[in-house]
């Protein structure tokens, strides 16, 4: 807790493997990420790792003696029932998952997930004692003056955030990953001035919550990204550029700098 009685906002970094790796590659990567855990802990940084569903149980075993927080890429909003093919949040918690990602742009776009779906999932995640990592972001980069693009992004993110915050208790911990859709899978992250201004605006939307609310940036992030964003963000959500574990190590080191 901070001196004001607010939850402490430790820096946090992590990566999702999406659907990129085989089971064998994931197992090897898990061992590598576990080896970074003492460095992250020494630098007071939270480190999370989100493999595919099939790898969750073996990863939980492999990470048991590390401080790496295990994540899942999605879940359903019901714990039990006739929901063929869905993944129970209760089972994720039982498997040792601590963080569950919801509302990634790829799920919103390819699987037509709505803000309501994301909110139901976030509530189920909290109910099961885990932390929702909610992805938000604008679909396109508005042309024109910087302030117009920033305003448009905040306007588009606002209902995405509100749906979740209305569905979870005010004291629930939430991680927001600001990922401009147009910056995901790109060659470089979104412009730093844009991200800093948008995140400052998003911060205003969650001001006054009692629960710890950290805001990460994601979208082609890698070494060098955090340094440009650190006045605004609490950390990074990495994708492809963390596939090389040396890049993740560099990002952790950069995040450990004051």
Ligand X SMILES: O=C[C@H](O)COP(=O)(O)O
Select which of 104, 138, 156, 249 is catalytic.
104
220: left (phi over 0), alpha (psi -120 to 50) or beta: left
How far is 108 from 114, CA to CA, in rounded Å? 6
Identity of the residue, 103 or 219, whose beta carbon is nearer to ligand X in the bound complex: 219
Give the dihedral sign, CA 50/54/56/61. Answer: negative
Chain positions contacting ligand X, by CB under 6 A:
16, 179, 184-185, 218-221, 237-241
Select which of 101, 138, 156, 179 is catalytic.
179
Residue 6: CB minimum distance to ligand X, A: 28
179 is catalytic: yes
Torsions phi, psi of 155, nearest 5?
-60, -40
DSSP of 42-65: HTT-EEEEE--GGGHHHHHHHTTT
Residue 88: CB minimum distance to ligand X, A: 22
Q: Dig out the tokens for 115 from the structure.
A: 């803000």
How far is 213 from 216, CA to CA, in rounded Å? 10
18: Cα within 13 Å, side-chain hemisphere: 14
Give the residue from 75, 73, 101 showing the smallest Cα distance to 86.
75
Residue 237: CB minimum distance to ligand X, A: 5
Identity of the residue, 209 or 229, whose beta carbon is nearer to ligand X in the bound complex: 229
Identity of the residue, 78 or 182, whose beta carbon is nearer to ligand X in the bound complex: 182
Residue 175: CB minimum distance to ligand X, A: 12
Residue 100: CB minimum distance to ligand X, A: 13
> What length does the chain have?
258
How far is 163 from 160, CA to CA, in rounded Å? 6
How far is 105 from 135, CA to CA, in rounded Å? 7
8 is catalytic: no
Identity of the residue, 30 or 209, whose beta carbon is nearer to ligand X in the bound complex: 30
Catalytic residues: 104, 179
């Amino acid at each position: 807790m901070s001196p004001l009685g607010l939850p402490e906002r430790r820096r946090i970094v992590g990566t999702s493997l999406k659907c990129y790796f085989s089971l064998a590659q994931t197992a090897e990567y898990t061992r590598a990420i576990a080896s970074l855990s003492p460095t992250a802990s020494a630098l007071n940084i939270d480190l999370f790792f989100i493999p595919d569903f099939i790898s969750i149980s073996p990863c939980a075993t492999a990470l048991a003696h590390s401080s790496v927080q295990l994540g899942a890429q999605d879940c359903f909003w019901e714990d039990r029932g006739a929901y063929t093919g869905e993944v129970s949040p209760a089972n994720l918690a039982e498997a040792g998952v601590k963080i569950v990602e919801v509302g990634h742009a790829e799920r919103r776009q390819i699987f037509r997930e709505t803000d309501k779906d994301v909110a139901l999932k976030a509530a189920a995640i909290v109910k099961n004692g885990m932390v929702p990592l909610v992805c938000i972001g604008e679909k396109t980069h508005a042309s024109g003056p910087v302030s117009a693009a920033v305003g448009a992004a905040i306007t588009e993110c606002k209902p995405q955030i509100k749906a979740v915050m209305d569905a979870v208790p005010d004291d629930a911990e939430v991680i927001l990953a600001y990922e401009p859709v147009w910056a995901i899978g790109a060659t470089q992250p979104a412009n730093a001035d844009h991200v800093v201004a948008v995140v400052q605006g998003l911060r205003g939307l969650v001001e006054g919550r009692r629960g710890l609310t950290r805001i990460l940036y994601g979208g082609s992030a890698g070494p060098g990204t955090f340094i440009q964003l650190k006045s605004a963000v609490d950390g990074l959500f990495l994708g492809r550029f963390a596939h090389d574990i040396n890049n993740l190590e560099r990002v952790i080191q950069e995040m450990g700098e004051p």
